[in-house]
Amino acid sequence: MTTEWQMVIGLEVHCELKTATKLFCGCPNVFGDEPNTNVCPNCLGLPGSLPVLNQQAVELAMAIGTALHCEIRPSTFHRKNYFYPDQAKDYQISQYDEPINVNGHLDLPDGFRVGIERAHMEEDTGKTSHAGASGRIHGADYSLVDYNRSGVPLVEIVSDPDMRTADQARAYVTELRAILVASGASDGKMEEGSMRVDANVSVRRTVDDPFGTRCEIKNLNSVRSLGRAIEYEAGRQIALIESGERVIQQTRHWDEGAGRTEALRSKEDAYDYRYFLEPDLVPLVPDAEWIRAVGDTLGMMPAARRSRLAALLDDAGGMTDAQRDQVTTVVDLGLDDLVVVAVAAGVGSGLALARTANEAATDADAARVLDPKSYVELLTLEAQGSLSATQAKSVLADLLAAGGGDPAAIARDKGFEAMSEDSLADTVAQAVADNPDEWSRFCEGDDKLAGFFTGLVMKATKGQANGKAVAAELRRLRG
């Protein structure tokens, strides 16, 4: 890619709201149930059925608007008309020219601000699967439809075309996902389709040029595919322009296996949706008091959670780059409260952060419901030197599996007794005696060899030795 080319990226993110029921009827909003079991006359589009708006869905939409610093305003619902079997009634109820949330923004962790044009409510469609050899729509003999998802509440969050790199797009989706989870509005599971991303991509030669013709990319099922698809699409557009052709405004499908985008339809084939006001729904007019009440229920947002952890580490002398990544991981997974509780109980912030980001994070679902008291007790045992790092990790795995417990008792059951100082000293002395060359280099100041000796001691003691005690013993022997 020539260096002066610049990408312009805007993202549309659909997120399913975490309600008990659908947007306009009382059918359960559950992922993964038996096909067509959560359906009623309304979400099947049967004649005579009428939609009634779900208050919880409205409040979650307002929570998203608040979290994204939007103006929350009076809104209406429209019918978006199209013929496609994923909607039994041949229209989708959506918000059109008067969405509930407008003019917000999202700040990426590095401070870059992305504008939010709107975040509006609409209903999800049913799920189609295509029968036939290909499994895809092209070449399918017929399709099968499950309407369980039809009518599930969605909020579509439309960014301004502010992003300039695939990395920014990835960071935006990651941060947005963390915000949606923190606000309680969505579970943010891209793999289950509860968060879906479309990317609008164009390129221009210099930052002063007007925006180029854009293409919309669909079927991005992970943050990774989002980045790959944007890089591919920008490269495709640049190659077109450099060979004297033009980019045609199109919707394109990302093929993850082939690693490329394919044309779905051009602007000329764009649907004519004939939007009109939904006559069966009245306007939604949130007053200031309601907006404030919803805002008061919002939990702490990811940026504030990261700052809170950073402050704990600053107290302990500042953050390394690795710790910055650990903070992001811990907050993204919603495990930051564990660190805060542990530090409040006197555990060092570095240890608390590392155990949470590296070990607790491997089973985040279990860690989120882990009894914080047992976690704090475990880290305290490790901080005191009663358990080695290896032993502490082993006990933690048991705590996560059981949702809590007494770490000291688990350690005893596993036979983890802190090694006596004498037997530790013997083991270290043996390791030194077995490796005279390494020892002399260590004595001459090659400190990296401390790790070599510690490793030997750990191996000899099957991980029961305390790393700090080994290091202290090595320093004592060196004199």
Partner 1 sequence: MTEPARLTREDVAHVAALARLHLSDEELDLYTGQLAQVLDHAADVASLDLAGVVPTAHAMAVTNVMRLDEPRPCLDRDEVLGQAPSVEDHRFRVPRILGEAP
Residues that bind partner 1 (CB under 8 A): 19-21, 25-28, 34-41, 44, 52-58, 74, 76, 81-86, 125, 128-131, 137, 140-147, 218, 253, 264-265, 271-274, 277, 279, 281-286
CB of 291 to partner 1, least distance (A): 13
Q: Which amino acid is at 281?
A: L
CB of 290 to partner 1, least distance (A): 9
CB of 147 to partner 1, least distance (A): 8
CB of 277 to partner 1, least distance (A): 6
Which residue's CB is nearer to partner 1, number 34 or number 365? 34
17 by Cβ neighbours in 10 Å (0-12 / 13-18 / 19+) ranks as buried
Give ∠ CA 436-438-439 in degrees, rounded to 5.
Answer: 60
Instruction: Tell me how far apart the alpha carbons of residues 134 and 255 are, in angstroms, rounded to a whole number.
Output: 13
Which residue's CB is nearer to partner 1, number 91 or number 439? 91
CB of 219 to partner 1, least distance (A): 9
Which residue's CB is nearer to partner 1, number 298 or number 316? 298
3-state DSSP assignment of residue 243: coil
Q: For residue 415, is it left (φ>0), alpha (ψ between -120 and 50) or beta?
A: left
CB 346 within 8 A of CB 381: no
Instruction: Tell me how far apart the alpha carbons of residues 88 and 106 are, in angstroms, rounded to a whole number.
Output: 35
DSSP state for residue 429 in the 8-state scheme? H
DSSP state for residue 126 in the 8-state scheme? P
Which residue's CB is nearer to partner 1, number 254 or number 416? 254
Which residue's CB is nearer to partner 1, number 118 or number 196? 196
Instruction: Tell me how far apart the alpha carbons of residues 54 and 60 are, in angstroms, rounded to a whole number.
Output: 10
Q: Which two tokens stand for residue 258?
A: 């082939």
Instruction: Tell me how far apart the alpha carbons of residues 157 and 14 are, in angstroms, rounded to a whole number.
Output: 6
CB of 197 to partner 1, least distance (A): 15
Which residue's CB is nearer to partner 1, number 197 or number 339? 197
CB 8 within 8 A of CB 211: yes
CB of 29 to partner 1, least distance (A): 9
Which residue's CB is nearer to partner 1, number 75 or number 388? 75
Q: Which two tokens stand for residue 319?
A: 């953050």
3-state DSSP assignment of residue 155: strand
Which residue's CB is nearer to partner 1, number 76 or number 329? 76
CB of 400 to partner 1, least distance (A): 32
Instruction: Tell me how far apart the alpha carbons of residues 370 and 364 are, in angstroms, rounded to a whole number.
Output: 10
Which residue's CB is nearer to partner 1, number 265 or number 267? 265
Which residue's CB is nearer to partner 1, number 285 or number 311? 285
The HSE-up count of residue 372 (CA atoms within 13 Å, CB side) is 14
CB of 150 to partner 1, least distance (A): 11
DSSP string, 272-325: ----EE-TTS--B---HHHHHHHHHT----HHHHHHHHHHHHHHTT---HHHHH
Which residue's CB is nearer to partner 1, number 72 or number 338? 72
Residue with tokens 């659909």: 14
Q: Which two tokens stand for residue 64?
A: 């998203």
CB of 354 to partner 1, least distance (A): 40
Which residue's CB is nearer to partner 1, number 265 or number 412? 265
CB of 246 to partner 1, least distance (A): 24
Residue 66, C-beta contacts closer than 8 angstroms, at least 6 positions apart: 72, 183, 291, 294, 295, 298
Residue 413, C-beta contacts closer than 8 angstroms, at least 6 positions apart: none
CB of 100 to partner 1, least distance (A): 12
